[in-house]
Amino acid sequence: MEIIDDDVPSFHAHGYQEKVSSVRVQSGTWVGYQYPGYRGLQYLLEKGDYKDSGDFGAPQPQVQSVRRIRDMQWHQRGAFHPSN
């Protein structure tokens, strides 16, 4: 499985195997989830090749969805409160 740029809520629904064990991350940081719909155990996936599920900490092939961690911007004055 090669992660390109889009979140994948279900590998099976996108034509891949139901559970993925090897992953290539081209760029960015992603979270792999145990179940479809971004549920279950989470695994951090950074740029690189993961040839086996053990490479990213999963005891067995069980990643079924992935979501990219997006860049965040913080308000310069801390917590933002809308004015009335």
- 22-74 pLDDT, tens digit each: 888 888 899 999 999 999 999 999 999 999 989 999 888 888 999 999 876 66
Predicted local distance difference test score (pLDDT) of residue 22: 86
Q: How far apart are CA 25 and CA 39, in angstroms?
A: 20
Range of the domain at 26: 2-68
Whether 48 is in a domain gets the answer: yes
Whether 42 is in a domain gets the answer: yes
Count the Cβ atoms, other than its own, within 10 Å of residue 23: 22
Predicted local distance difference test score (pLDDT) of residue 32: 93
Whether 80 is in a domain gets the answer: no
Q: Which residues pair with 67 in a beta bridge?
A: 31
Whether 63 is in a domain gets the answer: yes
Look up the CATH number of the domain holding residue 17. Answer: 2.60.20.10
Q: How far apart are CA 15 and CA 2, in angstroms?
A: 13
Whether 81 is in a domain gets the answer: no
11, HSE (Cβ side, Cα atoms, 13 Å): 21
Predicted local distance difference test score (pLDDT) of residue 17: 75
Query: Could you give the number of structural domains in the chain?
Result: 1
User: 15 pLDDT exceeds 70?
Assistant: yes
User: 84 pLDDT exceeds 60?
Assistant: no
Whether 24 is in a domain gets the answer: yes
